[in-house]
Amino acid sequence: MSKYGEAPAVVDIRLIDQVTGKPYSLLSSVFFEEDEEPFRFKSDSFAEATWGKERCIRREALEDSVYVRDNCLVIECVITVLGQLRVSETKPLCEIDVPPPNALRHFGKMLEDTSTADVTFNVEQETFAAHRVVLAARSPVFQKQFSEPMKDKKMSRMTINFMEPVVFKALLHFIYTDSLPAMDDLNKAESNAVMQHLLAAADQYELERLKLMCARTLVMNLNVENVASALWLADKYDCQKLKEACVNFMAPSNRVDAVVASQGYQLLKRTSPSPLADVWEKRSRVRQGFL
């Protein structure tokens, strides 16, 4: 309420599943910062209190989703102010604007600068230079690989098998910047395919935050063509939230036929039939609810 007030708060913006009535957390100030203090909102600094459009959901991603029914979308916003709010009535001697943190931006530039790199990755026909100390600090898998004494103290070379260059590039981008890369040069299907492979890579290198980010992006872009493959992925890599979203998406009767006709469903049926039991059980409960 004061011009110079601050409020530690937790903000959670949710979409409501109109089939089950359960909320899905779309944006949360603690979704990615579970071990950190609550965000401090400042009344005189709007810029520092925004997340940016890159964390919002696209309109086309809502098409055919469980969050839209009869052209209606339900959004729930929960704001919890923590502790006792203390507001100073005295104007400070001077106002000093502190710019937002920029360490990740510098790390991003570090990835582009190969002059200080000490490891090179061969991924199919492409090479990527990186820094062992950064990789080891971010990934337990890389840390274990680099903990052994290196025979050659100069540039070392490693080969990454069973991964496409575009996926490994996105993996490095996250390691250095803690964010997903822009994929403006890819169409929707290509971007979704990269995100599925990136989730598998995140599981391989024990990057839990990246795994959750990929799962959230896949949930926001579910459709009849990719939901079966997403369900297979969720079952294989133990992504319970993604699995729940896929089951909810496939449950409505007006969507089942289209999903069953997709190639992804046929692959899921042959390789991992167990998740389908959850779909049919969910669909049965939905039908009983309508009856």
Per the listing, tokens 């209190």 go with 49
As given in the structure block, the two tokens for residue 151 are 């025979």
- Report pLDDT for 159: 93
CA distance linking residue 291 with residue 288, whole number of Å: 5
Tokens of 146: 């680099």
Which is nearest to 197 in space by CA: 227, 178, 171?
171
Sheet harboring 119-123: ordered strands across?
A: 126-130, 119-123, 156-160
Question: Which among 190, 212, 181 is positioned nearest to 199, based on CA atoms?
Answer: 212
Three-state secondary-structure class, residue 284: helix
- At residue 56, what are phi and psi to the nearest 5 degrees? -95, 165
Domains defined along the chain, listed by start: 6-81 (no CATH), 103-290 (3.30.710.10)
Q: What is the pLDDT of residue 107?
A: 86
pLDDT in tens, the chain (291 residues): 677 777 778 888 888 887 788 888 877 765 444 445 667 777 766 555 555 555 667 777 777 777 888 788 888 888 888 776 555 566 667 778 888 888 888 888 899 888 889 999 999 999 999 999 999 999 999 999 888 765 555 458 899 999 999 999 999 999 999 999 988 888 988 999 999 999 999 999 999 999 999 999 999 999 888 888 898 899 899 999 998 888 888 777 667 777 777 777 777 777 666 666 556 555 555 554 544
pLDDT score, position 253: 63
Q: Give the CA diameter of the chain.
A: 70
Q: So what's the pLDDT on residue 178?
A: 92
How far is the C-alpha of 84 from the C-alpha of 218, rounded, in Å?
Answer: 38
Nearest Cα to Cα of residue 174 among 196, 151, 193, 199:
199
Handedness of CA 251, 256, 258, 263 (dihedral sign): positive
Per-residue burial over 43-55, b = 16 or more CB atoms within 10 Å of its CB, e = otherwise: eeeeeeeeeeeeb
pLDDT of the residue at 60? 73
Please give the Cα distance from 224 to 246 (Å, whole number).
10
- Residues 8, 38 contacting (CB under 8 angstroms): yes
Closest CA to 18 of 61, 72, 59: 72
Q: Which residues pair with 127 in a beta bridge?
A: 122
Q: Output the pLDDT for position 31.
A: 45
